[in-house]
Amino acid sequence: MALTEETINSISSNYYSFVNRFSRSKYEDEKMLGKFYTNQFVCSSLSASVVLALKQVHKKQICIIDPFCGDGRLVVSLMEEISKDSQLRSLSFSLFLWDIDNEAVTQAQANVSTFVGRAGLKASIIAEMHDAFSFARSFYGRFDVCITNPPWALLKPQKIFSDVSSEEIENYKRVISKYDEFMKQEFSTSLPEKKFGKWGTNLSRCGTELSIKLLCDGGICGLVSPATFLNDQVSRPLRQWMFSLCDIRRVDYYPSELKLFGKADVESVTVLFLKGSPQRRVLIVRHLETTPNSETIEGKDFDFVEKQGFVLPLSEDSRTLHVLERLNRLPSLSDYCVANSLKVTREIDETNISEKLAPTGTIRFVKGYMIGRYSFTTQELFLKADEKDAPKSVHFPKIVWRDVSRRSQQRRVQATYLPKNCIAGNSLGVVASNSGQGPALYSLLGFLGSLVFEYQARVLLTSNHVPAGVIRKVKIPFLDVNNRLASLVAQRLGSTNCEYELDAYVAKLYGLDFDCYSLIVSSFGFNSMEEQQYLSAFRTESKKEKQ
Ligand SMILES: C[S@@+](CC[C@H](N)C(=O)[O-])C[C@H]1O[C@@H](n2cnc3c(N)ncnc32)[C@H](O)[C@@H]1O
């Protein structure tokens, strides 16, 4: 049932009054409201792109909004760029600044009015405290420009301290549920494709959807967002909607190493787009080194991007798309598992795990930090004899990989083989067998541990985790067990370090040529000696193939 404006207002004010009451520190407040203010360089660069697009708009009066304005820095920097342009600076501007944080709104009003006064621009300013999500409805379709950085936060219950009564906690749960229901109804395109657990409405995605709704036809948006929006699985519907409705002109990618958001280890993007007239081309500017590199994705590359759910090559260039397109015809790890009676799974939840463990026993407990590439260590930790949670798979060997892996790690897929009588905590992904299946597991580990496998996975890994959903999708060359591969893996697990031979052999199984393989090897940032070892092993394999 459609909600009335009155109901929406009360849902919103009930929710935000709890947020205010429960926030005990600046840190908590920032976390709840997703306050990651935009870096000044990014503000200026995005504003310059918006101004270029604005020069094509032939209107005398321009309506501009930042619905999540913070201290108003994006609008200030946009007006700065406008003031440098003789054609634009003579126009009249209506500037709207909204934020849920009243102090920020006051600051934004002061900052923007000081700048426009000093620059002598004709501008009216309306700076008001609002919940943009619930307030914006009557403003849909009204703005020529939206420049914004929506809150970087998920909607979920806040940590509550012990001096709050249970009645109040119950009230809070009801109120946040109602607000979540409203958000899902109003911003349905931003809902994750697959949902994990009750909470998870992403305010940055909803803010992106809101920005598009606020624009008039032909309106220009300059958006700041976590980069995951352009390459994660869950935002696919939002990307599809956006690419089908808008002309996505330019994406600037900023890797986490630039530390643009204080200590937070996040990759970010800015996106410049126009509402209406979608074009099948997008300029990507990667700020990877001192000089950014730019590339236009169009034609067949754009077709491939579309087929993949508009996952853009942000950190890698379009040569990656060509390699991925070649590999895309192959079966996936998931297909391999089905063909060989293996199962991607988890074995035991690590919450309160110490209660389930003992210093002696028959089933050894293994968790993330104990796992390396082709190796593992153990501790005297065993599943208690009476523990009922053990799945059948503990009685058989398995492949495991570490769930947590930093984006900065050179090798992100840390996988190995575990013999029977081990149980893996949920900090490990598992490919379990229901009988021996040794060769099938060894063969699979050969793929999982290879550069080609990891190269594919990296495009899909958007956080500091290696989820099973990504691992399942990665392509492998065929479904049969390969005996030479299985035997190389057995050697690698033992004392013989045949890393380079193994990797080159896998690359050959994938059907790669030298150029493709060297592109993959060079993307890992090895030192030149190591790089040469991979490449020379590949040359040796090529010779063997010809004999
Ligand atoms: C990522 S910050 C961006 C601030 C500023 N525009 C910038 O670019 O630096 C997100 C802002 O959204 C505000 N915010 C969070 N929830 C909001 C809501 N429901 N309505 C309006 N503003 C909200 C926060 O207070 C914060 O100032």
Tally of residues, the chain? 547
Residue 199 pLDDT class (50, 70, 90 cuts)? confident
Within a domain: residue 264?
A: yes
51 alpha carbon – ligand 1 mean position (Å): 22
Q: Which of 12, 65, 98, 100 to mutate to test the pocket of ligand 1 (most atoms within 8 A of CB)?
A: 100
The confidence score (pLDDT) of residue 196 equals 61
Regarding whether 306 and 382 lie in a shared domain, the answer is no
So what's the pLDDT on residue 546? 80
Q: How far is the CA of 509 from the centre of ligand 1 (A)?
A: 50
Using DSSP's 3-state secondary structure scheme, residue 295 falls into strand
**Structurally, how many domains does the chain consist of?**
2
The average pLDDT across 155-162 equals 75
Question: What is the distance in A from the centroid of ligand 1 to the CA of 37?
Answer: 8
- pLDDT, position 161: 64
Query: How many angstroms is it from 70 CA to the middle of ligand 1?
Result: 5
pLDDT at 399 over 90: yes
**Residues 248 and 124 occupy one common structural domain:** yes
Q: Are residues 51 and 142 in the same domain?
A: yes
- The number of the ligand 1 atom at minimal distance from the alpha carbon of 224 is 8
Of the two residues 195 and 87, the one the predictor is more confident about is 87
Are residue 343 and residue 232 in the same domain, yes or no?
Answer: no
pLDDT band at 197; cut points 50, 70, 90: low
Residue 190 counted as domain residue: yes
233 Cβ partners below 8 Å, 6+ apart?
A: 193, 194, 309, 460, 469, 470
The secondary structure element, H or E, covering residue 126 is: strand 122-129
C-alpha 3/C-alpha 150 separation (Å) is: 23
Report the alpha-carbon distance of residue 461 to residue 440 in Å, rounded. Answer: 25
User: What span, in angstroms and rounded, lies between the C-alpha atoms of 524 and 517?
Assistant: 11
Q: 212 near 225, Cβ under 8 Å?
A: no
User: Phi and psi at residue 542, in whole multiples of 5°?
Assistant: -65, -40
Among 269, 289, 315, give the residue marking a domain's end. 315
Look at residues 315, 347, 372 and tell me which one is the last residue of a structural domain: 315
What token pair was written down for 332? 């996936």
- What does DSSP say about strands 371-372 and 364-366: parallel, antiparallel, or unpaired? unpaired
**Tokens for 506?**
């896998």
Q: Report which ligand 1 atom has the smallest distance to the Cα of 98.
A: 21
Least confident of 420-434, 455-469, 508-522: 455-469
Q: Are strands 61-66 and 143-148 parallel, antiparallel or unpaired?
A: parallel
Q: Give the pLDDT confidence score for residue 162 in this predicted structure.
A: 59
- Looking up residue 143, the CATH number of its domain turns out to be 3.40.50.12420
Q: Evaluate whether residue 83 is within a structural domain.
A: yes
Whether residue 438 is found in the same domain as residue 370: yes
- Same structural domain for residues 298 and 356? no
Calculate how far, in angstroms, residue 515's C-alpha sits from the geometric centre of ligand 1: 46
**Residue closest by Cα to atom 18 of ligand 1:** 131
Which of 231-235, 318-322, 412-416 shows the highest mean pLDDT?
Answer: 412-416
**CATH number (domain holding residue 416):** 3.90.220.10
Six-digit token pair at 388?
Answer: 């009922």
272 shares its domain with 361: no
Percentage, residues of the chain above pLDDT 70: 98
Q: Quick one: which atom of ligand 1 is closest to the CA of 131?
A: 20
pLDDT for the residue 316: 82
Report which protein residue has its CA nearest ligand 1's atom 6. Answer: 69
Q: What is the CA(80)–ligand 1 centre distance, in A?
A: 21
Q: How far is the CA of 226 from the centre of ligand 1 (A)?
A: 14
pLDDT at 443 over 70: yes
Residue 320 resides in a domain: no
Instruction: List ligand 1's pocket residues with C-beta within 6 A.
Output: 33-38, 66, 68-70, 73-74, 98-101, 104, 131-133, 148-149, 151-152, 224
Banded pLDDT at 261 (limits 50, 70, 90): confident
The per-residue pLDDT for 178 is 94
Average pLDDT over residues 495-503: 92
User: Can you tell me which atom of ligand 1 is nearest the CA of 16?
Assistant: 19
**What confidence score (pLDDT) does residue 28 get?**
79
Residue 182 is assigned to a structural domain of this protein: yes
Q: Residue 278 C-alpha to ligand 1 middle, in angstroms?
A: 28
Residue 345 domain boundaries: 333-546
Q: Closest ligand 1 atom to the C-alpha of 104?
A: 27
When pLDDT is averaged across residues 139-150 and rounded to a whole number, the result is: 98
Residues 339 and 390 in one domain: yes
pLDDT at 20 (0 to 100): 85
Residue 390 neighbours by CB under 8 Å, 6+ apart: 347, 348, 363, 383, 423
Which residues have C-beta within 8 Å of that of residue 411, sequence separation ≥ 6?
373, 454, 524
Domain identity same for 301 and 346:
no
Q: What pLDDT, in 10s, does the model give residues 45-70?
A: 999 999 999 999 999 999 999 999 99
Residue 323 lies in a domain: no
Average pLDDT across the chain, whole number: 92
The residue out of 315, 343, 366 marking a domain boundary is 315
